[in-house]
């Protein structure tokens, strides 16, 4: 039935969470539809990556070269095109991350294979993948199908699947050399600037009180800050709060901010756009306060309060004082 390829994403020597999420989904599809599962690692030194990937794939293709230490979309595109032409996978999965957004469209053009981006689920019907996507800021779901093709490319949204192991594999290792004839890329890696380079690191916090655009004005943050101090948490926020310069960037949660894993995440006036909720998929208990009962954040929240956030903040403070 052909293979499913998963392109391993890593940064600064660590495998990114999206890789494990893609492997989880790929394993589920492989088991249900009798596909083989191959993970592809392009890196400078695979030693640190291989064990965790082998446990989740039937086969691991590794290409090691100093030139692959940092992601470069042009180089990846050339190498993956060669691997796809050689192995002819049925399906290739890439993360819908800044990394994958740069890689996937060019790879589709170069290989001639169709691409569906930003999938939150994949079904295989009559031997052809169908992809579930969210549209209109998560208010509706659409099911998108491909025209029959030799192979298919899909980029998957971070946070759409668990990162757990499915089954107990110990994939075969296949080391291949990087092709010698790939052109020198026009772009080069300069430096990686971490958004957490601030006074505090929200990614390590156990309790986060997070504010969104619903906070209304900068001066209203003071009231939430008081609650944060009383409850012993850390304040975090959605992107509009940072865009307005109300809090520094290192407070931002989401795909272009930090991924957080607190035991409790209290979201105040946050609608729940996917770029935000992707950053809290590892949170323990999510409590959302929003005056709009249809806000998408309630789909993922464990507890929800449909009310004005300021009323809730004041009530909590009164309770803590009393």
Ligand X SMILES: Cc1cc2nc3c(=O)[nH]c(=O)nc-3n(C[C@H](O)[C@H](O)[C@H](O)COP(=O)(O)OP(=O)(O)OC[C@H]3O[C@@H](n4cnc5c(N)ncnc54)[C@H](O)[C@@H]3O)c2cc1C
What are the residues binding ligand X (CB under 6 A)?
212-214, 238-240, 252-257, 269-271, 273, 275-276, 289-292, 295, 308-310
Smallest distance, Å, CB 8 to ligand X?
A: 22
Cβ-proximal residue to ligand X, closest one: 254
Closest to ligand X by CB, 153 vs 224, is 224
Nearest to 57 by CA among 41, 39, 40: 39
At its nearest, how many Å lie between ligand X and the CB of residue 54?
32
> Which residue, 92 or 255, is less far from ligand X as judged by CB?
255
**How far is the C-alpha of 48 from the C-alpha of 70, rounded, in Å?**
15
- Least distance to ligand X from the beta carbon of 237, Å? 7
Residue 311 is encoded by which pair of tokens? Answer: 């009323």
- Cβ(232)–Cβ(322) under 8 Å? no
Contact 253, 280 (CB under 8 A): yes
Shortest CB 61 distance to ligand X, Å? 30
Residues 6+ apart with CB under 8 A from 237: 210, 211, 212, 246, 247, 251, 252, 253
Check: CB of residue 254 under 8 Å from CB of residue 276. Answer: yes
Q: Which residues contact residue 134 at a Cβ distance below 8 angstroms, ignoring those fewer than 6 apart?
A: 118, 120, 140, 141, 142, 274
Q: Which is nearer to ligand X, 156 or 289 (CB)?
A: 289
Contact 124, 33 (CB under 8 A): yes
Q: To the nearest whole angstrom, how small is the minimum distance from the Cβ of residue 187 to ligand X?
A: 19
Indicate the residue among 84 and 309 with the shorter CB distance to ligand X: 309
Q: How far is the CB of 172 from ligand X (least distance, A)?
A: 37
Of the pair 29, 224, the CB lying nearest ligand X is at 224
Task: Pick the closer one to ligand X by CB: 70 or 291.
Answer: 291
Task: Report yes or no: 236 and 260 within 8 Å, Cβ to Cβ.
Answer: yes
């Amino acid at each position: 039935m052909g293979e499913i390829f998963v392109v391993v994403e890593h940064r600064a020597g660590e495998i990114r969470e999206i890789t494990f999420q893609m492997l989880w989904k790929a394993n589920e599809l492989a088991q249900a539809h009798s596909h083989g599962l191959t993970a592809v690692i392009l890196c400078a030194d695979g030693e640190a990556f291989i064990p965790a990937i082998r446990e989740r794939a039937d086969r691991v293709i590794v290409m090691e070269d100093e030139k692959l230490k940092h992601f470069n979309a042009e180089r990846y595109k050339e190498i993956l095109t060669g691997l796809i032409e050689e192995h002819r996978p049925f399906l290739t999965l890439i993360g819908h991350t800044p990394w994958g957004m740069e890689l996937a469209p060019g790879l589709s053009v170069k290989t001639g294979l169709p691409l569906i981006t930003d999938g939150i689920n994949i079904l295989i019907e009559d031997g052809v993948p169908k992809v579930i996507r969210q549209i209109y800021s998560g208010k509706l779901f659409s099911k998108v199908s491909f025209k029959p093709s030799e192979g298919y490319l899909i980029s998957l949204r971070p946070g759409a699947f668990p990162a757990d192991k499915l089954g107990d594999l110990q994939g075969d290792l296949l080391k291949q050399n990087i092709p010698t004839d790939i052109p020198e890329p026009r772009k080069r890696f300069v430096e990686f600037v971490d958004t957490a380079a601030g006074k505090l690191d929200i990614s390590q916090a156990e309790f986060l009180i997070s504010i969104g655009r619903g906070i209304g004005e900068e001066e209203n943050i003071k009231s939430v800050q008081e609650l944060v101090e009383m409850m012993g948490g850390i304040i975090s926020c959605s992107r509009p709060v940072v865009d307005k310069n109300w809090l520094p960037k290192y407070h931002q949660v989401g795909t272009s901010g930090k991924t957080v894993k607190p035991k409790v995440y209290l979201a105040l006036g946050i609608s729940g756009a996917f770029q935000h909720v992707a950053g809290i998929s590892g949170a323990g208990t999510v409590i959302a306060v929003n005056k709009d009962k249809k806000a998408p954040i309630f789909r993922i929240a464990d507890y929800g309060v449909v009310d004005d956030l300021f009323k809730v903040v004041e009530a909590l403070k009164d309770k803590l004082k009393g």
